[in-house]
Copies of this chain bind each other. A is one copy, B any other.
Amino acid sequence: MADHPNVLWIMADQLRFDYLSCYGHPHLHTPHIDALAARGVRFTNAYVQSPVCGPSRMSAYTGRYVRSHGSTWNGMPLRVGEPTLGDHLRAAGARAVLVGKTHMAADAEGMAWLGIDPKSEIGVRVSECGFEPFERDDGLHPNSPRQGWSAYDDYLVAQGFCSDNPWEDFANSGVSDSGERLSAWLLKNSRLPANVPEEHSETAYMTNRAMDFMREARSDGRPWMCHLSYIKPHWPYIVPAPYHAMYDETHIVPPVRSGSERETDHPLMQAYLAARVSQSFSRDHVRETVIPAYMGLIKQLDDNLGRLFAWMDETGLSKSTIVAFTSDHGDYMGDHWMGDKDFYHEMAVKVPLIIHDPRPDADSTRGNTSEALVEMIDLAPTFMAALGCPAKPHVIEGRDLTPLLHRTDGFSRRYAISEHDYHWSEMARQLKQPQDQAHTTMIFDGRWKFIRCEGFRPVLFDLETDPQELKDLGASEEDAHIAVRARMERALLDWATRHHTRITATPELLERQKLATEEGILIGFWDEEEFENVTGFPFSSLTPQGKPKD
Q: How far is the CB of A88 from chain B (nearest CB, A)?
A: 10
Q: Are B497 and A439 in contact (CB under 8 A)?
A: yes
A81 at the interface (CB under 8 A from B): yes
**Which residue of B79, B141, B500, B505 contacts A519 across the interface (Cβ within 8 Å)?**
B141
Taken residue by residue from 439 to 459, chain A's Cβ proximity to chain B (1 for < 8 Å, 0 otherwise) reads as 101000000000010100000
* A interface SS class: loop
Q: Are A281 and B504 in contact (CB under 8 A)?
A: no
Of A22-30, A242-250, A463-471, A522-530, the segment with at least 4 beta carbons within 8 Å of chain B is A522-530
- Assuming the contacts A140-B521, A513-B424, A524-B339, asked whether A115 and B110 have C-beta atoms less than 8 A apart, the reply is no
Q: How far is the CB of A86 from chain B (nearest CB, A)?
A: 11
Q: How far is the CB of A143 from chain B (nearest CB, A)?
A: 6
Docked complex Cα distance between A142 and B339 (Å): 64
Which residues of chain B are near A411, meaning CB under 8 Å? Answer: none
Which residues of chain B are near A286, meaning CB under 8 Å? Answer: 526
**Which residue of B185, B513, B523, B544 contacts A277 across the interface (Cβ within 8 Å)?**
B523
Docked complex Cα distance between A501 and B70 (Å): 4
Q: Are A164 and B510 in contact (CB under 8 A)?
A: no
Taken residue by residue from 68 to 92, chain A's Cβ proximity to chain B (1 for < 8 Å, 0 otherwise) reads as 1111111111111111000100010
Q: Are A80 and B525 in contact (CB under 8 A)?
A: no
A126 at the interface (CB under 8 A from B): yes
List CB contacts (< 8 Å) of A193-241 with chain B: 235
Q: Are B141 and A545 in contact (CB under 8 A)?
A: yes
List CB contacts (< 8 Å) of A153-199 with chain B: 163-165, 168-169, 183, 185-188
A520 at the interface (CB under 8 A from B): yes
A93 at the interface (CB under 8 A from B): no
A-B contact pairs, 24 of them (CB 8 A): A67-B499, A67-B500, A68-B501, A71-B502, A72-B502, A75-B513, A76-B504, A80-B114, A110-B504, A114-B126, A141-B520, A141-B545, A143-B545, A145-B519, A168-B545, A183-B544, A185-B546, A186-B526, A275-B524, A276-B525, A278-B524, A423-B505, A489-B493, A492-B497
Q: Which residues of A contact B (CB under 8 A)?
A: 67-83, 87, 91, 107, 109-110, 113-116, 120, 122, 126, 140-145, 163-165, 168-169, 183, 185-188, 235, 275-281, 283, 286, 339-340, 393, 421, 423-424, 429, 435-436, 439, 441, 452, 454, 489-490, 492-494, 496-506, 509-510, 512-514, 516, 519-528, 531, 534, 539, 544-546
